[in-house]
Amino acid sequence: MAQPLIKKDDDRDDEAEYSPFLGIEKGAVLQEARVFNDPQLDPRRCSQVITKLLYLLNQGETFTKIEATEVFFAVTKLFQSKDTGLRRMVYLMIKELSPSADEVIIVTSSLMKDMNSKTDMYRANAIRVLCRITDGTLLTQIERYLKQAIVDKNPVVASAALVSGIHLLQTNPEIVKRWSNEVQEAVQSRAALVQFHALALLHQIRQNDRLAVSKLVSNLTRGTVRSPLAQCLLIRYISQVIRESGSTQTGDRPFYDYLEGCLRHKAEMVIFEAARAITELSGVTSRELTPAITVLQLFLSSSKPVLRFAAVRTLNKVAMTHPMAVTNCNIDMESLISDQNRSIATLAITTLLKTGNESSVDRLMKQITNFMSDIADEFKIVVVEAIRSLCLKFPLKYRSLMNFLSNILREEGGFEYKKAIVDSIVILIRDIPDAKESGLLHLCEFIEDCEFTYLSTQILHFLGVEGPKTSDPSKYIRYIYNRVILENATVRASAVSTLAKFGAMVDSLKPRIFTLLRRCLFDSDDEVRDRATLYLEMLGGDGEIVETQKDVKEFLFGSLDVPLSNLETSLKNYEPSEEPFDINSVPKEVKSQPLAEKKAPNKKPTGLGAPATEPSSGIDAYEKLLSSIPEFSSFGKLFKSSAPVELTEAETEYAVNVVKHIFDGHVVFQYNCTNTIPEQLLENVTVIVDPSEAEEFAEVASRPLRSLPYDSPGQTFVAFQKPEGVPAVGKFSNILRFIVKEVDPSTGEAEEDGVEDEYQLEDLEIVAADYMLKVGVSNFRNAWETMGPDFEKVDEYGLGPRESLVEAVNAVINLLGMQPCEGTEVVPSNSRSHTCLLSGVFIGNVKVLVRLQFGLDSNREVAMKLAVRSADEAVSDTIHEIVASG
Binding site for another protein (CB under 8 A): 18-21, 47, 50-51, 54-55, 58-60, 62, 82, 84-85, 87-89, 92, 95, 118-119, 121, 128, 132, 156, 159-160, 163-164, 166-167, 193, 196-197, 200, 203-204, 207, 228-229, 232-233, 236-237, 239-240, 268-269, 272-273, 276, 280, 303-307, 309-310, 313, 340-341, 343, 603, 605-608
Specify the residue, 21 or 415, whose C-beta has the smaller distance to another protein.
Answer: 21
User: Pairing mode, if any, of strands 819-820 and 772-773?
Assistant: unpaired
CB 148 to another protein: min, Å: 19
Specify the residue, 607 or 678, whose C-beta has the smaller distance to another protein.
Answer: 607
Q: How far apart are the first and last CA of the chain?
A: 106
Amino acid occupying residue 175: I
Distance CA 291, CA 321 (A): 17
CB 176 to another protein: min, Å: 14
Specify the residue, 23 or 605, whose C-beta has the smaller distance to another protein.
Answer: 605
CB 307 to another protein: min, Å: 7
Distance CA 835, CA 824 (A): 7
Can you say whether the dihedral through the CA atoms of 415, 420, 424, 427 is positive or negative? positive
Specify the residue, 93 or 590, whose C-beta has the smaller distance to another protein.
Answer: 93
Specify the residue, 46 or 447, whose C-beta has the smaller distance to another protein.
Answer: 46
CB 763 to another protein: min, Å: 45
- Mapping DSSP to helix (H, G, I), strand (E, B) and coil, where does residue 870 land? strand
Cβ neighbours, 10 Å, residue 672: 17
Specify the residue, 338 or 835, whose C-beta has the smaller distance to another protein.
Answer: 338
Read off φ and ψ for residue 344, nearest 5 degrees.
-65, -45
CB 146 to another protein: min, Å: 15
CB 70 to another protein: min, Å: 21
CB 387 to another protein: min, Å: 21
Distance CA 82, CA 319 (A): 61
Q: Which residues, in sequence order, are CB contacts of 435 under 8 Å at separation 6+?
A: 395, 398, 399, 402, 428, 429
Specify the residue, 51 or 69, whose C-beta has the smaller distance to another protein.
Answer: 51
Distance CA 571, CA 442 (A): 37
CB 22 to another protein: min, Å: 9
- Would you call 734 exposed, middle or buried from its count of C-beta atoms within 10 A (0-12, 13-18, 19+)? buried
CB 59 to another protein: min, Å: 6
Distance CA 309, CA 336 (A): 10
Specify the residue, 13 or 785, whose C-beta has the smaller distance to another protein.
Answer: 13
CA dihedral 32, 33, 35, 41 (to 10 degrees): 130
Specify the residue, 115 or 459, whose C-beta has the smaller distance to another protein.
Answer: 115
Distance CA 491, CA 480 (A): 10
Distance CA 455, CA 452 (A): 5
Specify the residue, 44 or 781, whose C-beta has the smaller distance to another protein.
Answer: 44
Provide the β-strand partners of residue 703: 717
Specify the residue, 89 or 528, whose C-beta has the smaller distance to another protein.
Answer: 89
Distance CA 22, CA 427 (A): 58
CB 443 to another protein: min, Å: 31
700, containing H or E segment: strand 698-703
For residue 112, give the nearest of 95, 99, 125 by alpha carbon.
125
CB 229 to another protein: min, Å: 7
Indicate left, alpha or beta for 844 from its phi (over 0: left) and psi (-120 to 50: alpha): left
For 34-59, what is the HEC assignment?
HHHHCCCCCHHHHHHHHHHHHHHHHC
User: What is the CA 237 to chain-centroid distance, rounded?
Assistant: 26
User: Pairing mode, if any, of strands 793-801 and 680-693?
Assistant: unpaired
Provide the β-strand partners of residue 770: none
Distance CA 715, CA 588 (A): 9
CB 269 to another protein: min, Å: 4
Specify the residue, 346 or 716, whose C-beta has the smaller distance to another protein.
Answer: 346
Specify the residue, 171 or 474, whose C-beta has the smaller distance to another protein.
Answer: 171
CB 852 to another protein: min, Å: 33
Read off φ and ψ for residue 795, nearest 5 degrees.
-155, 165
Q: Which residues, in sequence order, are CB contacts of 386 under 8 Å at separation 6+?
A: 349, 350, 353, 354, 611, 612
